[in-house]
Structure 1
């Protein structure tokens, strides 16, 4: 039982297994079968694998050297469903992105360059390239530092993330507001396909705990209807059951000095914090005139970060405007942290289909 080389890492407010591509099967079906067995899916507790029984802790990053000079490494993100035998590549993840850059240095794919090393990462799921600055004092990655991010206890070394604009249309329909499933919504994609709606239009305040929203049958039903209606408008392939985008984000006026308050369905559970690229899409929605955020958002002075409030705190990020084009945005910049939790070998369960049993 030699196992498979694997690093268990926290990236931002997410956690998952990080692998070199060469250590996993190249054929997608075989790779996905293996990852389900590694993470312990399908099982509500993922008791027989690495998964943490929540979408935020059931993630995988696959890393390889980039195939061209546009990036240093390629990063494929896979969302492993907790309770279903599903592995999705329909989105990327900006939190796990913060982990793959130090991982690439640790694995020798990118040489350390003095006290800070820039790693150019191609997010294979979307084709977008991000530049991440990792602290490498003495030529080695450090995870120790004084950067704090909401949703993560303690402090760690900052990982500075700069993401180029998404290649596709910022507003897939060309409209700042569309009416879908009977609700006004902004369909937007600044790295994460998202549908922004006013919390009040779904009959909630916007300050509810994630569990309360997940337990509100009317809200869950309306979110599902909105999400299904957005699929053809956003050009998303697949079905609402098999694809993790778009995310549905409930917006309300800020309550703690930020620019906007959010609750994000990702897509069935409600995020305990917020995804980096989800926040980037929300921030773009604040910068574009005429969206559903108008009348709710409190924009900061020019040059100040946009503070996106979420259930466990906030996320600050900069989204550059494009001079002369109020309907576009430029680079997105944000600070994340990451940590190596375990570096070793993981032993997947056997390929036998798991049986459903009562947990005891």
Structure 2
């Protein structure tokens, strides 16, 4: 079958919630079996090019327009490979340059439900490899009665309903100066005539973490207040992309990376639902961008970057956090997210862990329009070149 012979192509998928994100998960073999270029397949499936994504299955927000392509891994250090894509909403584009920890929790549960990994006791570990970045992660999924559950009671800030408990672990090392591309813990960054103090961190994902006070912010702003400052913050994302070596000066920055955050000291604030969070209940205030808006909570890769900066001397986060130790309570728009880490004998961060919840929402067959660009089977373009789909040989 060719795209000119049929108006649509069918592909099976699972719709999963992981943490505060929703992610469509495709088996790599199913993707390979379609005649469509991967980007076109995903743009058409999710309905990109329309801010409502009305003719597709995307959720019309940055946290619900995500996909993962999954297979058993051929890497001896991993059980499952997954390729993560951030699918554009108004723009017909798929960004392949980052990772998503929330979707990784969903991939772990999916792998057990689909039999990609054997269940092992009341809790089952799954070793993951993110194909985009090469990052090594692992999850520990609750498997009571040695069965892959469909639901559970674990809750996370920003989601009212429960899910299957999943511990997500990002494997390091994340240390200074290795996780700081410029070799500096803190530096001056300018964008659009505004000067800020920031830390440039690459742990979990490339990130630029800006001291709130240096740009007349607090780090406890509402989503509407972040939206008012979006042009300024987008300029800092581009400046951060240059310092990370993602783009050349003057070039447009990717929408998904670097992760861009405003960091402030703990103070009383109200969540997006109106709940009061008192300063004594968390350590540092963080407001992250997600594509072209305020993130409703915090992406887990961003949380890893914030935790790594909290552990390193001299950073913006370290200077603003209250308390100490190897746990960081992050005040987000949805409430407090807790991050833990372990350290090596040399003082570097060995691994970062978070507790999340995941649940399968649907198992579906998508009827995807075939109109689009020429076919490029088996590979997809991404910053830095091409990457093979994670299909075992």
Alpha-carbon deviation of 1:166? 5.6
Instruction: Name the residue aligned to 2:310.
Output: 286
Determine which of 200, 223, 226 is the counterpart of 2:236: 226
Determine which of 31, 45, 55 is the counterpart of 2:62: 55
> What TM-score comes out, normalization by structure 1 length?
0.90
The answer as to 2:357 corresponding to 1:337 is yes
Q: Deviations over 1:92-111 (max 9, x none)?
A: 00000000011111222112
CA contact (8 A) 1:8 1:17 kept: yes
Instruction: Name the residue aligned to 1:296.
Output: 320
RMSD (CA atoms):
2.2
The answer as to 2:252 corresponding to 1:245 is no
CA contact (8 A) 1:3 1:347 kept: yes
Alpha-carbon deviation of 1:29? 7.8
CA contact (8 A) 1:192 1:246 kept: yes
Q: Which runs of 5+ in 1 are unaligned?
A: 354-360
Using the alignment, how far apart are the partners of 2:36 and 2:12 within structure 1? 20
Alpha-carbon deviation of 1:140? 2.1
Using the alignment, how far apart are the partners of 1:156 and 1:270 within structure 2? 24
Instruction: Name the residue aligned to 1:170.
Output: 179
Count of matched residue pairs: 346
Instruction: Name the residue aligned to 1:236.
Output: 246
Alpha carbons of 1:294 and 1:70: their partners in 2 closer, same or farther (altered >3 Å)?
closer
Alpha-carbon deviation of 1:237? 4.4
Q: Deviations over 1:16-62 (max 9, x none)?
A: 20011111148998011010010010110001111111010000011
4+ residue segments displaced more than 6 Å: 26-29
Instruction: Name the residue aligned to 1:306.
Output: 328
1:293 aligned counterpart, secondary structure: helix
CA contact (8 A) 2:9 2:368 kept: no
Instruction: Name the residue aligned to 1:188.
Output: 201
CA contact (8 A) 2:201 2:309 kept: yes
Q: Which runs of 5+ in 2 are unaligned?
A: 1-7, 268-277, 374-393
Alpha carbons of 1:294 and 1:122: their partners in 2 closer, same or farther (altered >3 Å)?
closer
Instruction: Name the residue aligned to 2:272.
Output: none
2:320 aligned counterpart, secondary structure: coil
Q: Is the strand fraction higher in 1 or 2?
A: 2
Alpha-carbon deviation of 1:74? 0.3
Q: Deviations over 1:264-323 (max 9, x none)?
A: 0124211000011101110111111111224421134x35x3111100112111122333
Alpha-carbon deviation of 1:13? 0.4
Alpha-carbon deviation of 1:344? 2.1
> What TM-score comes out, normalization by structure 2 length?
0.83
